[in-house]
């Protein structure tokens, strides 16, 4: 009898989601403007993993599970307005927690989204 070992994919635990759930991030709204709660928060990969997106902090934003599901693998520009992005990033201004800098995080998110739109990576 042959036994095959099926390895489970590694479980990624977002530092961002973990900080939010512990109450250390005073963030009220997700990337698309939806109100976040500890029960509905999830990671939103700006460049979906199926298109080669990583789980690096610069590719992850907080969103509700429903908003994440609605977007699916569609290009970010179909769901995100400039106003939504500004409002999301403003929430992180001045946040400094051991191992996390809100200002640097916001800059990284803006850079990632700008790169996705300019390079049209999700077509």
pLDDT tens readout for residues 60-112: 999 999 999 999 989 898 999 999 999 999 999 999 998 899 999 999 999 99
- CA-based nearest residue to 75, from 106, 33, 47: 47
Q: How confident is the model at residue 17 (pLDDT cuts 50, 70, 90)?
A: very high
Tally helices (H) and strands (E) across the chain.
4, 4
Residue positions counted in the chain: 123
CA-CA distance, 117 to 47, in Å (whole number)? 10
pTM of the full structure: 0.84
The predicted pLDDT at position 14 comes to: 75
Q: How confident is the model at residue 120 (pLDDT cuts 50, 70, 90)?
A: low
Domain ranges for the chain? 15-119
Region 50-61: mean pLDDT is 91
* Residue partners of 89: CB distance under 8 A and separation at least 6: 106, 109, 110
Collapsing DSSP to helix, strand or coil, 97 comes out as strand
**Contact (Cβ atoms closer than 8 angstroms) between residue 84 and residue 31:** yes
The predicted pLDDT at position 10 comes to: 43
């Amino acid at each position: 009898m042959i036994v095959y070992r099926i390895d489970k994919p590694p479980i990624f635990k977002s530092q961002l989601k973990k900080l939010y759930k512990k109450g250390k991030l005073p963030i009220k709204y997700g990337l698309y403007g939806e109100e976040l709660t500890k029960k509905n928060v999830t990671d939103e990969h700006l460049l979906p993993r199926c298109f080669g997106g990583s789980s690096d902090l610069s590719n992850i934003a907080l969103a509700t599970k429903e908003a994440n599901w609605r977007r699916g693998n569609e290009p970010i520009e179909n769901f995100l307005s400039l106003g939504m992005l500004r409002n999301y990033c403003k929430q992180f201004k001045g946040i400094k927690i051991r191992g996390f800098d809100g200002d640097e995080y916001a800059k990284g998110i803006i850079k990632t989204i700008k790169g996705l739109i300019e390079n049209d990576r999700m077509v």
